[in-house]
Structure 1
Amino acid sequence: MVDDNITDAANEAPKAAADAAENLKSTASKLGKQAADTARNYADQGKVRATGALDEVSRLMGDAATTVDEKLGSEYGKYARTAADTISGWSEHLKSKELDDFVNDARDLVRKSPAVAIGVAAALGFVVARLIRSGTDDRA
């Protein structure tokens, strides 16, 4: 009887291990998908904020162009309007791109200019570290 229980347990152990492994893989896959969806959502929100900020800067530059016309002359106002149009163009360009386009552009940059990509990554890492450090300093 005891031998039968041990034999049954030994026979069922591989199936239980396989079931546990499958369950773990499924859970990990679901968590990975949730993380990717969350990251995509944050990236989309960031894109909306960035284009909104660019639109606002463009509008302010356009409004300032009229004042520049009056104070300094139309030649300088033209420069302000050109800057506003350029900023507006950047905003429209960002709005027209999907997140996957940005990812593909980043991959292309890394392939074509790995040194530039490493420099950009180092600079971003430095900025993020400073932001985190300043956030923890405020709480201390």
Structure 2
Amino acid sequence: MAETKRPAAASKPAAVRPAAKPTAKPANTKAAAPRAVAKAQPSKGTTDNAKSKVKSDMNDFKAQATDTVRAAATKGKDRATEAVGSISKLIRDSAGTIDDNVGKQYGDYARSAADMVEGFASKMDAKDVDVLAEDARQFVRRSPAVAIGAAAAIGFVLARLVRSGGKDA
């Protein structure tokens, strides 16, 4: 038999890999990273200055808010004192009519009530807002049920006044 020659397989050239890019790493990579982080963080003196500035600004804001609240409370106290004084005057003025219609004894009750309301108004006018707030706290601690009832009654009266005030305008 004749031997057939197989054509010699062309040898495949070895796969050529592209040349790897040179990776240049810094000699000390661990030391470079902390320096970058350290540069991003503000220095301790800067942080302390920022903290003290924020504290100072907050204290200024607190003082300004306290002054505003105290001024509003003083204005409210003055209005309340004026309103209570007006109620006292109204009761005293109606005492004469009560004398004529119901009797002198009931007119005297009205005058006595006017004196008590007027005394309350003068005591309220004489006290500072801080003292009034402390008195209110003590009253609520001693008798919370009465305080809640009084707050509900005052809220009801104020709501009625606001509703009737809107119709007149």
Q: Structure 2 length as normaliser, TM-score?
A: 0.60
Distance in 2, matches of 1:26 and 1:106, equals 32
Say if 2:60 is the partner of 1:40. no
Whichever residue aligns with residue 24 of structure 1, its letter is: V
1:46-93 per-position Cα deviation (integer Å, ceiling 9, x unaligned): 100000001101101100001111111111111111111111011011
Q: How far did 1:102 drift?
A: 1.8
* Of 57, 71, 87, the match for 1:27: 57
- Over residues 93-113 of structure 1, what are the superposed CA-to-partner deviations in whole Å (9 max), with x where a residue is unaligned? 101111121233244346x53
In structure 2, the CA distance between the partners of 1:60 and 1:11, relative to structure 1 (3 Å rule), is closer
Give the percent of matched residue pairs that are identical in Structure 1 and Structure 2. Answer: 33
Structure 2: where are the runs of 5+ without partners?
1-31, 164-169
Q: Counterpart of 1:13? A: 43
Alignment of 1:72-83 (within 5 A): 72-83=102-113
Evaluate the alpha carbon distance shift between residue 114 and residue 26 of structure 1 in structure 2; reply closer, same or farther with a 3 A threshold: farther
User: In the aligned structure 1, how far is the partner of 2:101 from the partner of 2:66?
Assistant: 51
Aligned position for 1:56: 86
- Is there any run of 5+ residues in structure 1 with no aligned partner, and where? 135-140
Residues matched between the structures, number: 124
Letter in 1 for 2:142: S
C-alpha contact (below 8 Å) 2:139/2:147 kept by paired residues: no
Q: CA RMSD in A?
A: 3.2
Whole-Å separation in 1 of the counterparts to 2:82 and 2:55: 40
Equivalent residue in structure 1 for 2:142, among 113, 116, 126: 113
After TM superposition, give the deviation of residue 28 of structure 1 in Å.
0.2
